[in-house]
Copies of this chain bind each other. A is one copy, B any other.
Amino acid sequence: MNSAHRAPGATELIALIQATCEPLSTASVPLADALGRVLREPVRAPEDQPAFDRSAVDGYAVRGDDNSTEFRIVDEIRAGDWKPRELKCGESVRIATGGALPAADLQVVMKEDAETSGNLVRVLRRTPDRNVRFRGEDAACGQTLVESSTGLTAGALALLASFGYTAPRVSQLPRVVHLATGNELVAPEEIPLQGQIRDSNSTLVCAFLQPHGIAPQQLRLAEDEAALENALHTSAETADLILISGGASVGSHDYTRRSLEKNGFEVLVSKTTTRPGKPLIFARRGPVIAFGLPGNPLAHFVCLNLFVHAALERFAGLAPGHFWRRGVLASELAAGGNARETFWPAACSEDLGVQKLTPLRWSSSGDLTALATANALIRVEGSATSLARGTTVEFIIT
């Protein structure tokens, strides 16, 4: 597929990214580092869970077939104890919740249904409930606990911990290099001279990657073709993903493309019809993926959330999923009739089961104020002029 000379739309480009990026290799990581990582092998129960019959209540264990009303307390079992013994008729064992039953075929009479006097217990009420969590009740040995390609949640990690599965095999995190280019850029903590602006894209890229557990290596470069070529030469050897924040001009786009090609990258796409985000570059060199991101902050935001997101999902080994959500406009969206498919920043909130989207004001891909409250991007079809309040729209959460 040679897309370099055409401009794919967002859906087509996402499909190309999904087809191009490969899941990264795997590594075993400690549970403490595994939250949000994607499991790359199925995990099966190495034993029954519970591993032994446990009392579900505080009470008195007696034989199930013993209809006595008064029992002699012959032992006490707390959680963690292991005191196997057969019980005779008329015998009982005081047992705490979680305690291992001393034998099979017992019933636990709840503490509340009995009264004691010395080492005797009198049963006031006997229900059919055995009050036992039986061995294997939650999981049987060999059963699949977590499927491969599952993102590990806190709950899944607790489950793995309970089986002693303390080093799950997950996708490695991509090594990301971010190069911010542009003569007009100064660091956020610096005072720009006249004509300069502060670099906000480095902050954006870093924060965008953080929930993925990725700390990029970041470099700010002057708008200099040789400097970029050189930085790419080094990065391509060590990174899985290279993000280049371009300068705003056409010239900057051109030399980003040239620098990638000189470093042996195949440029698969050099522009999209996506608005904002048109001058996007998507390139690869073997398994190494590079994006040239248009320098304007809103375009950056859109390209990160649509395209880099799709690459990260594939690197992690997630199956290409369901991308677009559906919601309803909470106010009119004055789309303006632009011919290109537009991704419109919006604030999304749930209201009685419906995702309500409030479109935010923006007029230029250089705008940033909409990003204060944006948590969604609405997909607006090309040529749409105005979408009324209540219109059903597709969107992504950012």
- A residues apposed to B, CB below 8 Å: 31-32, 35, 49-52, 54, 56, 58, 78-83, 96-100, 111, 133, 137-139, 143, 145-146, 150, 153-166, 182-185, 188-204, 206-208, 210-211, 223, 247-251, 295, 297, 300-301, 322, 325-328, 345, 349-350, 352-355, 363-364, 366-375, 392, 398
Contacts and interface: CB of A to CB of B under 8 A. Distances in A.
A204 B138 contact: no
User: 3 smallest A-B Cβ distances: which pairs?
Assistant: A155-B371, A80-B184, A326-B353
7 contacts: A82-B193, A96-B250, A100-B195, A137-B367, A155-B371, A158-B207, A159-B368
B366 A52 contact: no
A223 to B, nearest CB: 7
A157 B202 CA distance: 10
B372 A146 contact: yes
Most buried by B among A82, A203, A327, A364: A203
Q: How many copies of this chain does one complex carry?
A: 2
Given A295-B98, A353-B392, A372 B156 contact: yes
A164 B182 contact: no
B146 A297 contact: no
A96 B249 contact: yes
A309 to B, nearest CB: 12
A353 B328 contact: yes
Contacts of A297: 158, 162
Contacts of A325: 350, 353
Nearest to A279: B97
A392 B156 CA distance: 27
A164 B196 CA distance: 13
Given A166-B188, A249-B58, A250-B111, A371 B96 contact: no
Given A98-B295, A322-B350, A369-B145, A80 B161 contact: no
A353 B350 contact: no
B366 A35 contact: no
B157 A207 contact: yes
B157 A203 contact: yes
B158 A98 contact: no
Most buried by B among A138, A195, A373, A398: A195
B79 A158 contact: no
Contact of A155 (B52, B153, B301): B301
Given A166-B189, A188-B166, A249-B97, A52 B159 contact: no
A196 B51 CA distance: 9
Contacts of A201: 158
Nearest to A295: B98
Given A138-B364, A143-B369, A159-B371, 18 more contacts: A58-B249, A78-B184, A79-B223, A79-B249, A80-B185, A97-B248, A98-B366, A133-B364, A139-B368, A150-B372, A154-B204, A154-B210, A156-B371, A158-B201, A158-B297, A158-B368, A159-B200, A165-B188
Contacts of A248: 79, 96-98
Contacts of A198: 161-164
